Amino acid sequence: MHIYFSFKSAIFNFFHLTNENRHCTSSAGVIALLMSLSVQAANVNETIEDGLQFGEQGKYGQVKFDLRYRYENVNTSDNSPVKTAHANTLRLRAGYLTPEFHNVQIYAEYEGNLAMQEDYNSLRNGLTQYEVVADPQEQELNQFWLSYKGLSGTLIKGGRQRIELDNERFIGNDDWRQMEQTFDSVLISNQSVENLTLNFIYIGQIHSVISTRHLVSMPVFNFSYKFGRFSTLTGYGYWLADHEDAINSTQTYGVRLHGEPKLKHDIQLSYDVGYSNQADYKNNPGNYALDRYLIILGAQYVGITLKSGMEQLNGNDIYAFQTPLGTKHDFQGWADKFLVTPGAGVRDIQASIDKSFYGVKFMFAYHYFTDSKGNGEYGNEYDFLVTKHFGKHYQLLAKYAYYDADNSQAAINAGVEKDTQKIWVQGSVNF
């Protein structure tokens, strides 16, 4: 009701201004309307923010919520017997964060996804006649953790929690999906040394994006060190023992160096280079060691950002370098054709350009995929994005991905021989 009267008041003010000043241009009246609506919207946001806090400035804790609607369409080659997927879903996260008491804080969060149109294979609903959209209609306790900050420069957090390490290539929450990935784990993060962050983690169970549980034993070590303003060095060791799928049991070591140095004349460069090695571990039946290489270079000028480079995950035709716990949608194209690396590996040669106009971001990305030796072609992918943020709480997004499969034996062997088109329309509210 408050929102309705605020909007009504804004409209009344607009007509009042135009009636009182008939000699003013219509554009001035429109500007007045937009300014009035902007003020009213800011007041509404402030009212909501205050309402979600208990006591002054959250003295007794605060409520957090995230509401996201999405339509997703997935279509493969015309001769495919699998039907086109249409998914209309609405995801809600709602949580309560306590105030700090003797350096202790607790957070509990519910997550639920409603399938308003379930013409898709969620990997949980049995509708295998449709293409896959991995957003099942499920609900769960998404997070429930306790943290302690009583030691100087140290955070200790235990329970079910979101973990996003580095660029999330190896460990992330995979937040593109409606139900995010969280971890039953203990985390110790130390920042006692200036510019250095040390993370020690033990993960015992994974809650996947399709709301299933997976038992693992995984010690994690990760550090980041900032050199001045423009460079960050990251090193890591991940020891994953998968008790339910032995082929995922791997030990991975690597380094990453990235930064965004500024030059004269408003030119800013960027670089992201990395190397990793992955080998079998614990109950894995294989005996192998494989490499991953990354080099992405970029430049920004007058608001236009250009990037180009390559990521390569090697394979030996039986085993391949895998990242089962990473936020994989952010890598190797939005069509998600390489969520599992083919046995022959994958080389992703890529380029992207993005630019914002009047607060609307436009982005185009191109990917050329081959096996890790560069001999067998998999295909090309074209990705487009348009997104707009309205303040810090609201976002609209439209996204498109087209994977153009190569008619080759390599693509068939890798299971990526089908042309694939994906369309997304999304709106979200987050407080």
User: What is d(CA 144, CA 401) in angstroms, rounded to the nearest whole number?
Assistant: 35
User: What is d(CA 10, CA 119) in angstroms, rounded to the nearest whole number?
Assistant: 42
Dihedral (CA of 160, 335, 350, 69) sign: negative
User: What is d(CA 384, CA 339) in angstroms, rounded to the nearest whole number?
Assistant: 19
The pLDDT, as a whole number, for residue 27 is 45
Distances (CA, A) of 236 to 199, 225, 275, 280, 291: 9, 12, 11, 17, 14
The pLDDT, as a whole number, for residue 54 is 86
For 158, residues 6+ apart whose C-beta sits below 8 A from its C-beta are 145, 146, 147, 185, 186, 187
Supply the pTM of this predicted model: 0.89
Residue 2 domain flag: yes
Residue 218 domain flag: no
Please answer whether residues 92 and 66 qualify as being in contact, where contact means their C-beta atoms are separated by less than 8 angstroms: yes
Each residue's pLDDT, cut to its tens digit, for the chain (431 residues) gives 444 334 344 434 433 433 444 433 444 554 454 445 456 667 888 888 888 998 888 889 999 999 999 999 999 987 889 999 999 999 999 999 999 999 999 999 999 999 999 999 999 999 999 999 999 999 999 999 999 999 999 999 999 999 999 999 999 999 999 999 999 999 999 999 999 999 999 999 999 999 999 999 999 999 999 998 889 999 999 999 999 999 999 999 999 999 999 998 889 999 999 999 999 999 999 999 999 999 999 999 999 999 999 999 999 999 999 999 999 999 999 999 999 999 999 999 999 999 999 999 999 999 999 999 999 999 999 999 999 999 999 999 999 999 999 989 999 999 999 999 999 999 999 99
Which residue has tokens 């992207």?
Answer: 352
Number of domains making up the chain: 1
| Residue among 311, 375, 366, 376 at smallest CA distance from 335 | 366
Which residue has tokens 């033990």?
Answer: 202
Within 10 A of 201 (CB to CB), how many other CB atoms are there? 21
The pLDDT, as a whole number, for residue 16 is 45
Residue 41 domain flag: yes
H or E element that contains 10 = helix 2-20
Identify the bridge partners of residue 431 per DSSP, sorted by sequence position.
none
Residue 144 domain flag: no
User: What is d(CA 193, CA 244) in angstroms, rounded to the nearest whole number?
Assistant: 39
The pLDDT, as a whole number, for residue 9 is 46
User: What is d(CA 339, CA 299) in angstroms, rounded to the nearest whole number?
Assistant: 28
Residue 27 domain flag: yes
The pLDDT, as a whole number, for residue 264 is 83
Please answer whether residues 76 and 419 qualify as being in contact, where contact means their C-beta atoms are separated by less than 8 angstroms: yes
For 316, residues 6+ apart whose C-beta sits below 8 A from its C-beta are 288, 290, 343, 345
Instruction: Read off the tokens for 101.
Output: 């008491």
Chain-centroid distance of CA 18 in Å reads 46
Taking the CA of residue 254 as centre, how many other CA atoms within 13 Å lie in the half-sphere pointing to its CB? Answer: 26
Q: Give 16: exposed, middle or buried? Use CB within 10 Å, 0-12, 13-18, 19+.
A: exposed
Q: Give 426: exposed, middle or buried? Use CB within 10 Å, 0-12, 13-18, 19+.
A: middle
User: What is d(CA 23, CA 1) in angstroms, rounded to the nearest whole number?
Assistant: 35
Dihedral (CA of 167, 169, 173, 174) sign: positive
- Do the bridges between strand 360-370 and strand 304-313 make them parallel or antiparallel, or are there none, so unpaired? unpaired
Residue 420 domain flag: no
Dihedral angle computed from the Cα positions of residues 300, 304, 308 and 311, in that order, rounded to the nearest 10 degrees: 90
Backbone angles phi, psi at 102, to 5 degrees: 55, 45
| Residue among 393, 382, 380, 391 at smallest CA distance from 428 | 393
The pLDDT, as a whole number, for residue 425 is 98
Backbone angles phi, psi at 370, to 5 degrees: -135, 180
Residue 270 domain flag: no
SS3 category, 56: helix
Chain-centroid distance of CA 81 in Å reads 31
> Whole domain around residue 24: which residue ranges?
1-51
User: What is d(CA 328, CA 228) in angstroms, rounded to the nearest whole number?
Assistant: 30
Which residue has tokens 């991995």?
Answer: 134
What burial letters (b/e) apply to 242-263, b meaning 16+ CB within 10 Å? beeeeebbbbbebebebbeeee
Please answer whether residues 99 and 58 qualify as being in contact, where contact means their C-beta atoms are separated by less than 8 angstroms: yes
Residue 17 domain flag: yes
User: What is d(CA 93, CA 414) in angstroms, rounded to the nearest whole number?
Assistant: 36
